[in-house]
């Protein structure tokens, strides 16, 4: 069961802008196993979305470029694939649910047309058949009166409906891997719970492998099997979810957990991480978290921390554990 379906090694995606080189992703490593949900966790600007786009070869070039690293999928290095090869894989074998359902849908096409378009790009089937498939996909997503939704334009639907239509679109070809970029951000708690249920069911039913991108550790705790915490474009910690939440090693991970107001606990004051998320164009020297780190030492501003193995599944990049 532990076979790896996707493995990113030392992935580096830089953007070459007039104001300088933005090292959006600067050495991210992870492996995705069949049937598991891997969470990429981090705050805005940490490089988690660019990581996903790099996997699918969707980074705008120029200014962006994958400058180093490998993404191995079934003995195929996606970084080296031709655009044509990538088009075969993208949407069919590796699909993505984009952030912000509102902007990911075309406002002048009905939802039905958009789902059908997705189907017919990849499968050689008739329009009517595609329509039936689209309808059943929407129904599977728990869309009430799917027939009406098919004929609606995106602006006529609620946020939760749009999100579900997007998920339906990504599932048209039964992909091996589904990448979901912040699908639960900016939706209500009730819709969030429904969407998490959909993903949970997908994982259980079809053994799909999920990459779930989020900044919300409470969501990670609900759905993830393993998590990779990213800061300043680099891995800072990776471990099974239960381990990372019960026993976070990196001060950033610990901070992310502590600063979350938790509904099942009462605290007078939240522990906050001081300072701001770093500017990716001018990342601090050494460990990029050191200016905000409560446990920073002298070495932290000078040298990048190495990756240290805590236990078999638990790795952390921090000078504290050397």
Which residues here bind other proteins, judged by CB under 8 A? Answer: 43-44, 142, 144, 158-161, 188-194, 196-197, 215-219, 221-222, 242, 245, 255-257, 259-267, 269-274, 276-277
Going edge to edge, which strands form the sheet with 64-73? 20-33, 4-17, 64-73, 76-77
CB of 109 to other proteins, least distance (A): 22
CB of 154 to other proteins, least distance (A): 15
CB of 117 to other proteins, least distance (A): 25
Q: What proportions of the chain, in percent to the nearest 5, are helix, strand and coil?
A: 35, 25, 40
For the chain, the residue count is 322
Q: Are 98 and 167 in contact (CB under 8 A)?
A: no
Closer Cβ to other proteins, 10 or 44, answer by number: 44
Report d(CA 36, CA 177) in Å as an integer: 10
Closer Cβ to other proteins, 156 or 309, answer by number: 156
Closer Cβ to other proteins, 74 or 271, answer by number: 271
CB of 7 to other proteins, least distance (A): 28
| Cis bond before residue 117 (omega within 30° of 0) | no
Closer Cβ to other proteins, 172 or 253, answer by number: 253
Closer Cβ to other proteins, 260 or 310, answer by number: 260
Report d(CA 73, CA 3) in Å as an integer: 12
CB of 141 to other proteins, least distance (A): 13
DSSP letters spanning 184-202: TTTS-HHHHHHHHHHHHHH
């Amino acid at each position: 069961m532990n076979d790896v379906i996707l493995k990113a090694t030392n992935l580096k995606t830089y953007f070459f802008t007039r104001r300088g080189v933005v090292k959006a992703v600067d050495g991210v490593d992870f492996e995705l196993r069949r049937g598991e949900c891997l969470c990429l966790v981090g705050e805005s600007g940490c490089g988690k979305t660019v990581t996903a786009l790099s996997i699918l070869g969707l980074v705008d070039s120029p200014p962006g470029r994958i400058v180093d690293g490998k993404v191995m999928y079934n003995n195929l290095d996606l970084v080296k694939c031709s655009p044509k090869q990538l088009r075969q894989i993208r949407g069919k074998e590796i699909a993505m649910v984009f952030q912000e359902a509102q902007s990911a849908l075309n406002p002048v096409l009905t939802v039905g047309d958009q789902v059908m378009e997705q189907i017919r790009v990849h499968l050689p089937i008739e329009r009517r058949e595609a329509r039936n498939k689209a309808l059943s996909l929407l129904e599977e997503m728990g869309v009430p009166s799917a027939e009406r939704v098919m004929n609606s334009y995106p602006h006529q639907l609620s946020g939760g409906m749009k999100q579900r239509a997007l998920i339906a679109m990504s599932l048209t070809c039964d992909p091996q891997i589904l990448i979901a970029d912040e699908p639960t951000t900016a939706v209500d708690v009730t819709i969030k719970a429904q969407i998490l249920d959909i993903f949970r069911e997908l994982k259980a039913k079809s053994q799909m492998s999920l990459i779930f991108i989020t900044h919300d550790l409470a969501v990670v705790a609900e759905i993830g099997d393993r998590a990779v915490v990213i800061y300043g474009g680099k891995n800072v910690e990776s471990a099974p979810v239960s381990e990372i939440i019960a026993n976070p090693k990196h001060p950033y991970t610990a901070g992310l957990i502590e600063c979350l107001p938790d509904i099942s606990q009462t605290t007078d004051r939240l522990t906050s991480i001081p300072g701001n998320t770093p500017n990716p164009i001018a990342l601090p020297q050494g460990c990029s978290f050191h200016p905000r780190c409560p446990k920073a030492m002298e070495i932290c501003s000078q040298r990048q921390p190495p990756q240290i193995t805590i236990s078999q599944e638990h790795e952390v990049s921090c000078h504290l554990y050397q």
